[in-house]
A = this chain, B = another copy of it.
């Protein structure tokens, strides 16, 4: 498996283009994009579990019922959420106009939005600009599409991996956005994935579920879960490999590994670019009684404002890690609890080791920091990622809407 350029256009038969339509205030930033497969694709999606959901979530879910899609229309700057009936009509119209312009069926268009909640979509701007994007769709501009879905992100998230299934080269590419309202246990952001693999709907869904569960569902920026999050994947079979199904075990595992590598890398990019983040933190919890417990404990550490501020301050305040593990739902016994910062053991079976403070300072001055917690109660483990919490997070979010 190797990483390749091209993002969401790296796989054969996928195009992408974007424009500035006027939804965002900054005229230098794109805010409306279309991702298009030249042929109809098998498709799957995972969506926010928030009970307040944006109109686009309802529309995309409905359009995925037949497991097919050919295009994704996505805007940033407005979430089209808490917008009542009109919001639903607007999301449907986004699909309709895109379908008409691209000469495909409305049911084959998926819709995504991100931005402010509770403002009516400026539909005139959206509708006027869809034909402009369509006209540009002879290009493969994944990078501009990756830019067009950004909100408070500071860098675009765009990746692709390529590997062989049998004798056929298969490519999976994706773009993502994150930054705020990032919380595990759901899609947690926008991510659009394209692949030229030939794969049936059941296998595609299974691979997506596995990959998201171990990547996007394992990151946390602020513990807030968005109303708009979705991960969509389109597979257009242009690689001409033998059809992957759950039963073609080896090929399925290869595809799943490729997809997981892509989503894990994108997830880490999102955690690293969390609002105001200066460091990426990897949390490994091992020795748990079961996988659920390992996840509970890791999530609790990743969500703790006190742990995250200590990391920001490069302060080896491991007591906050112990406290966060202790209030998680995991089975925890102080007597068997061990904590490491980097490779340095700080707490050993409940006993503080008081390691050299300068060594800890140097570990915490790195850009990427690993915290390991051994619960000492079993054999299960989980890895999650988060970022530190800085004044910049506050500054960004105190003034985001206005």
A residues contacting B by CB (< 8 A) are 49-53, 79, 81-84, 116-120, 180-181, 183, 222-227, 303-306, 309-310, 312-313, 315-320, 322-327, 331-334, 337, 347, 350-352, 389-391, 393-395, 397-402
A283–chain B nearest beta-carbon distance, Å: 15
* Beta-carbon contact of A327 and B394 below 8 Å: no
Which of B51, B347, B401 makes the CB contact (< 8 A) with A317? B401
19 contacts between A and B (CB under 8 A): A51-B331, A51-B332, A51-B333, A52-B325, A82-B319, A82-B334, A82-B352, A117-B319, A117-B320, A118-B322, A119-B352, A223-B304, A224-B306, A225-B326, A309-B393, A309-B394, A310-B397, A390-B394, A391-B395
Q: A323-B52, A326-B227, A347-B82 are in contact. Are A315 and B399 (CB under 8 A)?
A: yes
* Beta-carbon contact of A181 and B117 below 8 Å: no
Within 8 Å CB of A400, what residues of B?
310, 313, 315, 317
Within 8 Å CB of A402, what residues of B?
313, 315
Extra contacts, 5 of them, besides A222-B305, A309-B397 (Cβ < 8 A), are A50-B326, A52-B326, A79-B319, A117-B318, A223-B304
Q: A332-B52, A389-B394, A398-B312 are in contact. Are A84 and B352 (CB under 8 A)?
A: yes
Within 8 Å CB of A322, what residues of B?
52, 81-82, 117-118, 227
* Beta-carbon contact of B82 and A50 below 8 Å: no
* Beta-carbon contact of B223 and A313 below 8 Å: no
Considering the chains assembled together, what is the distance between the CA atoms of A117 and B354 in angstroms?
12
* Beta-carbon contact of A51 and B326 below 8 Å: yes
Q: A53-B326, A347-B118 are in contact. Are A306 and B84 (CB under 8 A)?
A: no
* Beta-carbon contact of B82 and A306 below 8 Å: no
Within 8 Å CB of A117, what residues of B?
317-320, 322-323
Copies of this polypeptide in the complex: 2
Within 8 Å CB of A305, what residues of B?
222-224, 305, 393, 397
* Beta-carbon contact of B398 and A315 below 8 Å: yes
A321 — nearest CB in chain B belongs to which residue? B117
| Residue of A116, A309, A310 with highest tally of chain B CB at under 10 A | A309
A91–chain B nearest beta-carbon distance, Å: 14
| Residue of A306, A310, A334 with highest tally of chain B CB at under 10 A | A306
Within 8 Å CB of A226, what residues of B?
323
* Beta-carbon contact of B313 and A398 below 8 Å: yes
The 8 closest A-B CB pairs, nearest first, are: A117-B319, A313-B398, A52-B326, A309-B397, A225-B327, A391-B391, A50-B326, A51-B332
A368–chain B nearest beta-carbon distance, Å: 18
Considering the chains assembled together, what is the distance between the CA atoms of A400 and B81 in angstroms?
39
A289–chain B nearest beta-carbon distance, Å: 13
Considering the chains assembled together, what is the distance between the CA atoms of A116 and B306 in angstroms?
12
Considering the chains assembled together, what is the distance between the CA atoms of A224 and B301 in angstroms?
10
Within 8 Å CB of A183, what residues of B?
327
Within 8 Å CB of A394, what residues of B?
309, 312, 389-391, 393-394
Considering the chains assembled together, what is the distance between the CA atoms of A313 and B401 in angstroms?
10
Q: A303-B223, A332-B51, A350-B82 are in contact. Are A399 and B313 (CB under 8 A)?
A: yes
A390–chain B nearest beta-carbon distance, Å: 6
Q: A223-B223, A313-B399 are in contact. Are A49 and B327 (CB under 8 A)?
A: yes
A337 — nearest CB in chain B belongs to which residue? B52
Considering the chains assembled together, what is the distance between the CA atoms of A320 and B224 in angstroms?
9
